[in-house]
Amino acid sequence: MYSAAILLDPNYAEAYNNRGVAKKRLGRFEAAITDYDTAIRLAPDLGTPYNNRGIIMKNLGDYEAAISDYDTAIRLRPDYVNAYYNRGIAKAELDQYTAAITDYDAAIQFNPEYTKAYLSRGLAKRSLNKTSEAKQDFQAALELAKQAGNVKLEGNIENLLLQFK
């Protein structure tokens, strides 16, 4: 479908981005990166391809490149909730927990019901031995998971909270 759109309009940046997403889901990371690179070349002010390329770079273990892509996505869209969250994840992988917490704070500020941001912020706080703050975040995440009916996530969070007893 996206390839057909690209044939009709080879300058359609969003089609390259979306095709990149499809390729990523198929595990074709290098091909997805190529599509994100093309989308960025065609529309350098579009934040989504930077975020999406950052996700692949993070998954490949290139956290610095991922953070650079998330930085650009956020510069282009200062309210880009997922880019803040993803950058926080990459920073946490580099043991930059305080910086990760700042990104999770931003994600939560823009979306107060972002369950995974509370959960990830709690994990980062736990890594900094801020156990009471971590527990508060886990409890907030648990309540949001219950409200969303996400039983699997709810169970995972309950297991984390058992560590505090």
Find out whether 90 and 70 touch, Cβ atoms under 8 Å: yes
Note the pLDDT tens digit of each residue in 69-90: 999 999 999 999 999 999 999 9
CA atoms of 75 and 34, how far apart (whole Å): 22
Query: Residues near 149 by Cβ (< 8 Å), separated by ≥ 6?
Result: none
The pTM for the full model equals 0.93
Report pLDDT for 163.
87
CATH for 1-96, options being 1.10.3720.10, 3.20.20.150, 2.40.110.10, 1.25.40.10? 1.25.40.10
Note the pLDDT tens digit of each residue in 23-40: 999 999 999 999 999 999
Note the pLDDT tens digit of each residue in 100-111: 999 999 999 999
CA atoms of 73 and 62, how far apart (whole Å): 17
Query: Which band of pLDDT confidence, cut at 50, 70 and 90, is reported for residue 9?
Result: confident
In the chain, domain spans? 1-96, 113-165
Report pLDDT for 35.
97
Nearest to 21 by CA among 43, 54, 45: 54
Query: Which band of pLDDT confidence, cut at 50, 70 and 90, is reported for residue 2?
Result: low
Average pLDDT (89-102) is 98
CA atoms of 130 and 132, how far apart (whole Å): 6
Average pLDDT (128-154) is 97
DSSP state of 116: H
Asked if residue 1 has pLDDT above 80, the reply is no
Query: Residues near 39 by Cβ (< 8 Å), separated by ≥ 6?
Result: 13, 14, 16, 17, 20, 46, 48, 49
Report pLDDT for 58.
97
